[in-house]
């Protein structure tokens, strides 16, 4: 089944049914936000593939969070991706920075 587009709401997602294979329903209001419909669950996802790398992050499962909560998390995730950060990855430390891990202590 090809990807679909719709305004994602709790009501519209509840009406989506599982098929033989998983498929995506993309939100028509927030680019990069979609729900992945599988055989057993519906998962909120965010993806930004416009940059030099494609980053995709799982936001949560439908039923455990509302569409409004998932949309908020998607905005945060897409914002961090736009800044060049990968979701779930620790921030990079600049070369020569003083850190506790590096043992360069100055008192």
What is the spatial distance between Cα 86 and Cα 100, in angstroms, rounded to a whole number?
23
Residues 91 and 15: their CA atoms lie apart, in Å, by 39
pLDDT digits (tens, 9 = 90+) for 27-82: 999 999 999 999 999 999 998 866 556 778 899 999 999 999 999 999 998 888 77
pLDDT value, residue 95: 61
pLDDT at 18: 83
Instruction: Please count the other Cβ atoms lying within 10 Å of the Cβ belonging to residue 78.
Output: 20
pLDDT at res. 85: 73
- Between the alpha carbon of residue 103 and those of residues 12, 31, 91, 92, the distances in Å are 54, 43, 19, 17
DSSP calls for 6-56? E---HHHHHH----SS-EEEEESSSTTEEEEE-SS-EEEEEEE-SSSS-EE
Given 3.90.550.10, 3.30.160.390, 3.40.50.10380, 3.40.50.450, which CATH number is that of 4-82?
A: 3.30.160.390
Which residue is it, tokens 């587009």?
5
d(CA 44, CA 24): 10
Write the pLDDT tens digit of every residue in 84-96.
776 666 555 566 6
């Amino acid at each position: 089944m090809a990807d679909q587009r719709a305004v994602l709401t709790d009501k519209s997602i509840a009406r989506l049914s599982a098929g033989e294979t998983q498929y995506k329903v993309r939100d028509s209001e927030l680019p990069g936000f979609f729900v992945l419909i599988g055989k057993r669950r519906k998962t909120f996802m965010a993806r930004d593939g416009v940059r030099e790398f494609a980053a995709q992050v799982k936001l949560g499962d439908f039923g455990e969070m509302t569409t409004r909560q998932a949309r908020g998390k998607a905005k945060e995730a897409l914002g961090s991706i736009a800044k060049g950060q990968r979701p779930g990855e620790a921030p990079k430390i600049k070369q020569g920075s003083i850190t506790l891990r590096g043992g360069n202590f100055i008192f």
